[in-house]
Amino acid sequence: MTRAVLSEDDVLRAVAGERAAVERFTRAFLPRVYGLCLRLSRRRELAEEACQETFVRALAALPKLRDPARLDAWILRIAANTTRRLLAKAGREGPLDWEPAAIEPSADDEALARRKAVDLAVAELATPERELFLLHTVEGVRLRELARRRGTTPAALKARMHRIRSKVRVRALRHLERAGVRP
Protein backbone atom coordinates (compact mmCIF):
# COMPACT_ATOMS: atom_id res chain seq x y z
CA MET A 1 0.00 0.00 0.00
CA THR A 2 1.37 3.37 -0.99
CA ARG A 3 2.11 5.55 1.98
CA ALA A 4 2.03 9.34 1.83
CA VAL A 5 5.40 11.00 1.86
CA LEU A 6 5.10 14.62 2.79
CA SER A 7 7.56 16.94 4.41
CA GLU A 8 6.64 19.25 7.23
CA ASP A 9 7.29 22.15 4.92
CA ASP A 10 4.73 20.80 2.47
CA VAL A 11 2.15 20.57 5.22
CA LEU A 12 2.85 24.10 6.41
CA ARG A 13 2.61 25.43 2.88
CA ALA A 14 -0.63 23.53 2.37
CA VAL A 15 -2.02 25.10 5.53
CA ALA A 16 -1.02 28.50 4.16
CA GLY A 17 -3.03 27.73 1.03
CA GLU A 18 -0.17 27.48 -1.44
CA ARG A 19 -1.59 25.73 -4.41
CA ALA A 20 1.38 23.54 -5.26
CA ALA A 21 1.65 22.29 -1.69
CA VAL A 22 -2.08 21.62 -1.52
CA GLU A 23 -1.80 19.68 -4.75
CA ARG A 24 1.05 17.58 -3.37
CA PHE A 25 -0.91 17.03 -0.17
CA THR A 26 -3.97 15.95 -2.12
CA ARG A 27 -2.09 13.63 -4.47
CA ALA A 28 -0.23 12.05 -1.56
CA PHE A 29 -3.37 11.04 0.29
CA LEU A 30 -5.90 10.70 -2.49
CA PRO A 31 -5.40 6.99 -3.32
CA ARG A 32 -5.70 5.88 0.30
CA VAL A 33 -8.61 8.18 1.02
CA TYR A 34 -10.41 7.14 -2.13
CA GLY A 35 -9.79 3.44 -1.49
CA LEU A 36 -11.11 3.72 2.04
CA CYS A 37 -14.16 5.73 0.99
CA LEU A 38 -14.98 3.36 -1.86
CA ARG A 39 -14.54 0.23 0.21
CA LEU A 40 -16.68 1.68 2.97
CA SER A 41 -19.48 3.07 0.83
CA ARG A 42 -19.27 0.73 -2.20
CA ARG A 43 -20.62 3.58 -4.31
CA ARG A 44 -18.32 5.41 -6.67
CA GLU A 45 -20.17 8.70 -6.71
CA LEU A 46 -20.50 8.82 -2.96
CA ALA A 47 -16.82 7.92 -2.59
CA GLU A 48 -15.78 10.83 -4.81
CA GLU A 49 -17.97 13.23 -2.86
CA ALA A 50 -16.58 11.88 0.39
CA CYS A 51 -13.06 12.44 -0.95
CA GLN A 52 -13.74 16.09 -1.70
CA GLU A 53 -15.43 16.61 1.64
CA THR A 54 -12.60 14.88 3.45
CA PHE A 55 -9.92 17.14 1.97
CA VAL A 56 -11.99 20.26 2.62
CA ARG A 57 -12.45 19.31 6.25
CA ALA A 58 -8.86 18.18 6.64
CA LEU A 59 -7.35 21.35 5.22
CA ALA A 60 -9.69 23.52 7.26
CA ALA A 61 -8.81 21.68 10.46
CA LEU A 62 -5.15 21.06 9.71
CA PRO A 63 -3.91 23.96 11.91
CA LYS A 64 -5.59 22.27 14.88
CA LEU A 65 -3.79 18.95 14.36
CA ARG A 66 -2.14 18.04 17.64
CA ASP A 67 0.22 15.30 16.53
CA PRO A 68 1.64 15.90 13.05
CA ALA A 69 3.28 12.48 13.15
CA ARG A 70 -0.18 10.89 12.97
CA LEU A 71 -1.34 12.98 10.03
CA ASP A 72 -2.24 9.95 7.90
CA ALA A 73 -4.31 8.31 10.63
CA TRP A 74 -6.00 11.63 11.28
CA ILE A 75 -7.02 12.22 7.68
CA LEU A 76 -8.19 8.62 7.25
CA ARG A 77 -10.35 8.98 10.32
CA ILE A 78 -11.86 12.09 8.80
CA ALA A 79 -12.48 10.13 5.62
CA ALA A 80 -14.21 7.33 7.51
CA ASN A 81 -16.38 9.75 9.47
CA THR A 82 -17.30 11.67 6.33
CA THR A 83 -18.20 8.49 4.47
CA ARG A 84 -20.29 7.25 7.35
CA ARG A 85 -22.12 10.57 7.52
CA LEU A 86 -22.79 10.64 3.78
CA LEU A 87 -23.96 7.03 3.88
CA ALA A 88 -26.40 7.82 6.65
CA LYS A 89 -27.59 10.83 4.72
CA ALA A 90 -28.06 8.86 1.51
CA GLY A 91 -29.78 6.03 3.38
CA ARG A 92 -30.63 2.99 1.31
CA GLU A 93 -31.20 4.98 -1.83
CA GLY A 94 -29.00 4.11 -4.73
CA PRO A 95 -27.63 0.68 -5.54
CA LEU A 96 -24.15 -0.50 -4.72
CA ASP A 97 -22.18 0.06 -7.88
CA TRP A 98 -18.84 -1.33 -6.83
CA GLU A 99 -17.72 -4.85 -6.03
CA PRO A 100 -14.22 -6.14 -5.62
CA ALA A 101 -12.81 -8.00 -8.61
CA ALA A 102 -13.78 -11.64 -8.69
CA ILE A 103 -11.21 -14.41 -8.81
CA GLU A 104 -10.50 -15.74 -12.27
CA PRO A 105 -9.03 -19.19 -11.73
CA SER A 106 -7.52 -19.48 -15.14
CA ALA A 107 -6.09 -15.96 -15.41
CA ASP A 108 -5.06 -15.05 -11.86
CA ASP A 109 -1.94 -16.39 -10.30
CA GLU A 110 -1.98 -17.55 -6.75
CA ALA A 111 -0.91 -14.26 -5.13
CA LEU A 112 -3.43 -12.23 -7.09
CA ALA A 113 -6.17 -14.74 -6.28
CA ARG A 114 -5.32 -14.46 -2.58
CA ARG A 115 -5.54 -10.69 -2.67
CA LYS A 116 -8.84 -10.82 -4.49
CA ALA A 117 -10.17 -13.38 -2.02
CA VAL A 118 -9.27 -11.19 0.94
CA ASP A 119 -10.78 -8.20 -0.83
CA LEU A 120 -14.02 -10.08 -1.42
CA ALA A 121 -14.10 -11.27 2.17
CA VAL A 122 -13.63 -7.74 3.47
CA ALA A 123 -16.39 -6.47 1.20
CA GLU A 124 -18.77 -9.02 2.74
CA LEU A 125 -18.24 -7.69 6.26
CA ALA A 126 -20.81 -5.46 7.90
CA THR A 127 -20.06 -1.75 7.57
CA PRO A 128 -18.79 -1.15 11.14
CA GLU A 129 -16.58 -4.23 10.98
CA ARG A 130 -15.35 -3.28 7.54
CA GLU A 131 -14.48 0.21 8.77
CA LEU A 132 -12.60 -1.18 11.74
CA PHE A 133 -10.70 -3.71 9.63
CA LEU A 134 -9.79 -1.16 6.97
CA LEU A 135 -8.69 1.50 9.42
CA HIS A 136 -6.65 -0.76 11.66
CA THR A 137 -5.37 -3.60 9.53
CA VAL A 138 -5.11 -1.90 6.17
CA GLU A 139 -4.38 1.70 7.06
CA GLY A 140 -2.53 1.12 10.30
CA VAL A 141 -4.55 3.34 12.59
CA ARG A 142 -3.75 2.38 16.16
CA LEU A 143 -6.31 0.57 18.25
CA ARG A 144 -5.77 3.13 21.00
CA GLU A 145 -6.93 5.96 18.75
CA LEU A 146 -9.88 3.98 17.43
CA ALA A 147 -10.90 3.00 20.96
CA ARG A 148 -10.71 6.58 22.17
CA ARG A 149 -12.95 7.73 19.35
CA ARG A 150 -15.45 4.94 19.94
CA GLY A 151 -15.53 5.27 23.70
CA THR A 152 -14.26 1.76 24.34
CA THR A 153 -11.03 0.10 25.41
CA PRO A 154 -8.17 -1.10 23.19
CA ALA A 155 -8.57 -4.58 24.67
CA ALA A 156 -12.19 -4.77 23.60
CA LEU A 157 -11.28 -3.59 20.12
CA LYS A 158 -8.47 -6.10 19.99
CA ALA A 159 -10.87 -8.94 20.73
CA ARG A 160 -13.25 -7.60 18.14
CA MET A 161 -10.47 -7.36 15.61
CA HIS A 162 -9.62 -10.98 16.26
CA ARG A 163 -13.16 -12.02 15.46
CA ILE A 164 -13.19 -9.88 12.34
CA ARG A 165 -9.94 -11.43 11.14
CA SER A 166 -11.40 -14.88 11.69
CA LYS A 167 -14.37 -13.96 9.58
CA VAL A 168 -12.16 -12.62 6.83
CA ARG A 169 -10.03 -15.74 6.94
CA VAL A 170 -12.97 -18.11 6.73
CA ARG A 171 -14.61 -16.19 3.93
CA ALA A 172 -11.40 -15.71 1.96
CA LEU A 173 -10.72 -19.42 2.13
CA ARG A 174 -14.24 -20.10 1.00
CA HIS A 175 -13.75 -17.89 -2.05
CA LEU A 176 -10.50 -19.65 -2.85
CA GLU A 177 -12.19 -23.01 -2.48
CA ARG A 178 -14.96 -22.01 -4.82
CA ALA A 179 -12.45 -20.78 -7.35
CA GLY A 180 -10.56 -24.02 -7.05
CA VAL A 181 -7.28 -22.37 -6.09
CA ARG A 182 -4.77 -24.66 -4.46
CA PRO A 183 -1.24 -23.88 -3.42
Partner 1 sequence: MTDPGPRDDAPSLDDERLAEALEGLGTAKERARLERVLADDPALATRCRALARILEEPVALPSLPLPEGLEAAVLAAIEDADLLELRPPEGLAGDVLERLEAEGLVASHPAHAVPRRPLRGHLGRGTVWAAAAALLAGLALGLLLGGRRLDAEEEALRAALARANAAEARARSEAEASRRRAEERADALARQEAQLARRADALARQEAQLARRADALARQEAQLARRADALAGAKGPAKAAAQAAPSGLREVVEARAVQRWTEDRGWVALAPGTRLEAAALLRALGGAGRLRTGKGRTLRLWPGVLYRVGPRGLVPLPDPGAPSYAGRSLPPRPRATAPPPRGVGRAPRRGDRAAALVAANPWERLFGR
For the segment 18-47, give every residue that binds partner 1 (CB under 8 A): 18-20, 22-23, 26-27, 30-31, 34-35, 38-39, 44
Contact call for residue 176 and partner 1 (CB under 8 A): yes
To partner 1, the closest distance from the beta carbon of 3 in angstroms equals 12
User: Which DSSP string do the residues of the chain spell out, in sequence order?
Assistant: -PPP---HHHHHHHHHT-HHHHHHHHHHHHHHHHHHHHHHH--HHHHHHHHHHHHHHHHHHGGG-S-GGGHHHHHHHHHHHHHHHHHHHHTT-S-----PPPP-TTTS-HHHHHHHHHHHHHHTS-HHHHHHHIIIIIT---HHHHHHHHTS-HHHHHHHHHHHHHHHHHHHHHHHHHHT---
Contact call for residue 160 and partner 1 (CB under 8 A): no
Among 70, 81, 90, 114, binds partner 1 (CB under 8 A): 114
Residues near partner 1, by CB under 8 A? 1-2, 17-20, 22-23, 26-27, 30-31, 34-35, 38-39, 44, 48, 51-52, 55-56, 59-60, 100-101, 110, 114-119, 122, 137-139, 162-163, 165-174, 176-177, 181-183
